[in-house]
């Protein structure tokens, strides 16, 4: 899930940069702003999902016997 959200955030950024930023109108800037908000939200989702994954791995490793 974190990887999909991460890639989606970057895809939204690419759309904002290449397709929406060509114009210099107020409407174009508004669309870029909304695209950046969506990207930030997807990045936050990716961060939370990565933290959940790291916590699961940590719990899994704590439950295993130590190798000596």
Per-residue pLDDT of the chain in tens (68 residues, 90 and over written 9): 888 999 999 899 888 888 776 777 888 788 888 888 999 999 999 999 999 999 998 888 887 776 76
The predicted pLDDT at position 47 comes to 95
pLDDT of residue 15: 86
46 close to 2: Cβ distance less than 8 angstroms? yes
Domain map (residue ranges) of the chain: 2-63
DSSP tag of 22 = T
Q: What is the pTM of this model?
A: 0.75
* Phi and psi based region of residue 67 (left: phi greater than 0; alpha: psi -120 to 50; beta: remaining): beta
């Amino acid at each position: 899930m974190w990887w999909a959200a991460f890639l989606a955030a970057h895809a939204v950024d690419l759309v904002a940069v290449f397709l929406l930023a060509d114009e210099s109108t107020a409407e174009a800037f508004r669309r870029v702003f909304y695209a950046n908000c969506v990207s930030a939200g997807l990045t936050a989702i990716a961060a939370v999902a990565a933290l959940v994954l790291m916590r699961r791995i940590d719990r899994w490793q704590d439950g295993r016997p130590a190798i000596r």
